[in-house]
Structure 1
Amino acid sequence: MATLYNLSLIIKNPSNEDEFLLVKQNPPAKFNDPEYDSFSDSPLWDLPSSPLLPLDSPSDNQFSIQVPESCSDEVDLSKFDLNSAIHKVLEQVELDDIPVEWKFMKYVQEPEFGPGLPVKTVYIIGTLGPKNGKLKDVEFCKWMTTEGCISMLAEVKPCSDRVGSMVVVGLLNDSTKSGTWKIPPTLKCQEYPLGVKIIPMESRTAKPFRTTNLIVFLPEGNASECDDGFIAHGEALIVDPGCKSASYEQLKEIIAALPRKLVVFVTHHHNDHVDGLSVVQKYSPDARLLAHENTIRRIRKDDWSLPYVSVSGSEEICIGNQKLRIILAPGHTDGHMALLHVSTNSLIVGDHCVG
């Protein structure tokens, strides 16, 4: 299968090496639809990046970056045009001086979420020369610390700046080490925002898709901090365990590693979102299922025979010490529900947004 490669630069501030450079991302394209075009996103900041294209001849590369032996079988940077990619990024951020030395930081293979080509990103790090820490365009670029990015992610307010996924995948996931459990090594996942892991699982979904996203939410915090105003509370949450039987062993490993006080949320009743429920109830018998009544009555007793909670929208769940609000979103099915993580303004939509 063909693959798209991306180069992302972590450019350190010569005046403060705790800071790295972020670039404001371009807004989505307009569609000449008055209602759609009337909406505007708050600014999204991410690491500067550029597509990484194959090189005709390895001798043409001005930059030579050593890749650790553990990653050398996955990516050979001598085969890519590092010169063009790095210079394109430096043009974006309007920097004349280039870092004295570039160092390989990590190589990340994006999970195969959909029918499109997966993206594999090479992260390299460098520090600018002592005279080039001043930014020419402070509206388009800014210095940010890891702590600042974590703060922006943890509490997202309307119209406030947001942090993009490359910062999280490239930097924050390494520094925070959120969660104490590990997914099976044969599975890849993306964690964004922090504490929310998205794992594409092989499922009986509609072509050209092959997977359904299993959402696992395991925040730091004590479930006992939840008060009586929540319809359910627990130490971990999973959403839409809908994998094929061939992936049941992987789902078993995921469930077995999670805390016993588990909440299961199903957005709707389609097979690719509920096929793994029997595995969940077998290996987590204390789990509680939440779903719309129109969804629950279509789930087979063989798949779920444990107690459940019928929800209709606006109810709140507490996981750890984090609040999630249930949103009624009928249309894809008559019992379709979405789930809003309140502090980060992240909406888990199931199949409400498709294609």
Structure 2
Amino acid sequence: MATHRLALIIQNPSNDDEFLLVKQSRPPKFHDEEYDSFVDSDLWDLPSAQLNPLLAESEPPVELELAVSHSESQDVDLRKFDIRSALNEVFGQLGFGAVDGGGWKFHKYVKEAAFGPDLPVNTVFIVGKLVAAEDKDFRDSYRWKSVRSCLNWILEVKPHGDRVGPLVVIGLINESSISTKWKVPPAINYQEYPPGNIIIPMGSRTLRPFHTTNLVVFAPENVSNDSGENNFIVRGDALIVDPGCLSEFYGELEKIVTALPRRLVVFVTHHHPDHVDGLSVIQKCNPDATLLAHEKTMHRISRDVWSLGYTPVTGDEDIDIGGQRLRVIFAPGHTDGHMALLHANTHSLIVGDHCVGQGSATLDIKAGGNMSEYFQTTYKFLELSPHALIPMHGRVNVWPKQMLCGYLKNRRSREANIVKAIEGGAKSLFDIIVYVYSDVDRRAWIAASSNVRLHVDHLAQQHKLPKDFSLETYKSSLDTFAESVGKL
């Protein structure tokens, strides 16, 4: 099962090498001065629209010229989709109304990897021209770009510069030379965005609503590592981040590791099983691999999972992978040893479990999870001004500052509700949970209690708890919370 969208590669009538990119609409503002001060740079991508099934009363389907060499067309029956309505929607976005484009051709069909929790969104790419486009002023919202000019955008990435969106990368750029030369083993579904960041969702024992952990792989085309710099903590030809799959996927992981260069670096963001369960496979397939992790993370990883040595990292170290630089970022909050990685070439940030593709992550109170540090890390990420956030659960986020500010807003809103609960007479953890999570399934209350406890600690540190609230009474209620929930 999947939903679909239609992406248009609209060629310039006067230059077949150029295609139309559209400035993407930004998410809604928060209407808060602090949050709205963090603005993501412009994102340019192919025009697209949702592609719905063709209904019986719809107009006759648009005929597409199918190239025999494109085997992807065999994976989707385009006659069953309302391409005409999707085209008209795109034309409307461009300000043309319903316009006939000449000779639309099928370009490719891309199946999205199963990131979850929503259904995958598969994309049909078609190529064509718009004669009327010659008379349109494209300066503000539209640009004609070639693959080469997009590559230059990516290669000359700047922290606050314009960005190239996933559709143009997946539909066109990944076919070019910047795409990694390493090929993912057959039958393994993946996404390569940002360019060079191969993301493979693999089944893991993670928490709902997710069912997978993103394995991130870097395997750039061989570039000389002999740059003369000696400030790298490690050099390698390939990098794997968070191999945390279930044992039933060990075979796939083994194929991936075996296909990668021997000079392999492994980076783990933190110790949770859904991020390290596959380390034993790497140790078996490539015992020469170098493992990087925070010391507190390694102390919590069983020797049954990894019994070899490791290189400790604390933040601000640089890693050289095939001539590409990645910066280690200390990112406590989710756990006290949580780490992130900033890929310099694309300015994309691998955030571990600090962010997730949907909802927000639960902080691990038993492993040093700390709400104050979580806020500090969020601001640190905002200052980095990344072009994309790569979580270990869910899709890549292309509006990083919007997402991070959303986390700040939601957690502050939760703390405001906790204060209201206390002002309304709540004295125990159970009382607070009943008030704050009244509209949430009670089965989620146990998991939510960890974050609430950390929120109360954070409020206490800031001296924001009501003066008549007894921390002693509150703390004495922690041990009986689960029992109280069980009685409901």
Deviation at 1:179, TM superposition (A): 2.7
Q: Which stretch of the first structure deviates more once superposed, 296-305 or 165-174? A: 296-305
Bigger strand fraction: 1
Q: Structure 2 vs 1, CA of residues 113 and 59 (structure 1 numbering), >3 Å: closer, same or farther?
A: closer
Q: Which runs of 5+ in 1 are unaligned?
A: none
Q: Structure 1, residues 13-41: CA drift from partner, whole Å, max 9, x if none?
A: 01111100000001122234443222111
Task: Show the counterpart of 1:344.
Answer: 346
Q: Which amino acid aligns with 2:43?
A: L
Q: Which stretch of the first structure deviates more once superposed, 120-129 or 271-280? A: 120-129
Please give the TM-score of this superposition, normalised by the length of structure 2.
0.69
Aligned-residue Cα RMSD (Å) equals 1.8
Contact in 2 for aligned 1:212/1:242 (Cα 8 Å): yes
Q: Which stretch of the first structure deviates more once superposed, 304-313 or 59-68? A: 59-68
Q: Which stretch of the first structure deviates more once superposed, 136-145 or 170-179? A: 170-179
The answer as to 2:8 corresponding to 1:5 is no
Task: Show the counterpart of 2:212.
Answer: 211
Task: Show the counterpart of 1:167.
Answer: 168
Q: Which runs of 5+ in 2 are unaligned?
A: 360-488
Contact in 2 for aligned 1:94/1:136 (Cα 8 Å): no
Deviation at 1:227, TM superposition (A): 2.3
Query: 2 CA distance for matches of 1:166 and 1:306?
Result: 41
Query: 1 CA distance for matches of 2:66 and 2:206?
Result: 38
Bigger helix fraction: 2
Task: Show the counterpart of 2:86.
Answer: 85
Task: Show the counterpart of 2:451.
Answer: none
Deviation at 1:301, TM superposition (A): 1.1
Q: Structure 1, residues 90-115: CA drift from partner, whole Å, max 9, x if none?
A: 12223475431100011111001121
Q: Which amino acid aligns with 2:9?
A: I
Q: Secondary structure at the match of 1:60?
A: coil
Contact in 2 for aligned 1:135/1:142 (Cα 8 Å): no
Q: Which amino acid aligns with 2:261?
A: P
Q: Structure 1, residues 193-223: CA drift from partner, whole Å, max 9, x if none?
A: 2211000011011011010000001112123
Task: Show the counterpart of 1:20.
Answer: 19
Deviation at 1:330, TM superposition (A): 0.4
Task: Show the counterpart of 2:34.
Answer: 35
Q: Which amino acid aligns with 1:146?
A: V
Q: Which stretch of the first structure deviates more once superposed, 270-279 or 178-187? A: 178-187
Q: Structure 1, residues 35-66: CA drift from partner, whole Å, max 9, x if none?
A: 32221111000000000111113872252114
The answer as to 2:284 corresponding to 1:282 is yes
Contact in 2 for aligned 1:61/1:78 (Cα 8 Å): no
Q: Structure 2 vs 1, CA of residues 62 and 4 (structure 1 numbering), >3 Å: closer, same or farther?
A: closer
Q: Secondary structure at the match of 1:224?
A: coil
Task: Show the counterpart of 1:48.
Answer: 47
Q: Which amino acid aligns with 2:330?
A: L
Bigger RCO (CA 8 Å, 6+ sep)? 1
Q: Structure 2 vs 1, CA of residues 185 and 226 (structure 1 numbering), >3 Å: closer, same or farther?
A: farther
Contact in 1 for aligned 2:61/2:82 (Cα 8 Å): no
Deviation at 1:293, TM superposition (A): 0.5
Query: 2 CA distance for matches of 1:224 and 1:284?
Result: 24
Query: 1 CA distance for matches of 2:79 and 2:236?
Result: 49
Task: Show the counterpart of 1:232.
Answer: 234
Instruction: Give the one of 231, 244, 247 matched to 2:246.
Output: 244
Structural mapping, 1:56-135, within 5 Å? 56-57=55-56, 60-61=59-60, 63-67=62-66, 70-95=71-96, 98-129=100-131, 132-135=133-136
Q: Structure 2 vs 1, CA of residues 310 and 123 (structure 1 numbering), >3 Å: closer, same or farther?
A: same
Query: 1 CA distance for matches of 2:226 and 2:232?
Result: 12
Q: Which amino acid aligns with 1:325?
A: R
Q: Structure 1, residues 258-279: CA drift from partner, whole Å, max 9, x if none?
A: 1111110000000000000010
Task: Show the counterpart of 1:152.
Answer: 153
Structural mapping, 1:268-279, within 5 Å? 268-279=270-281
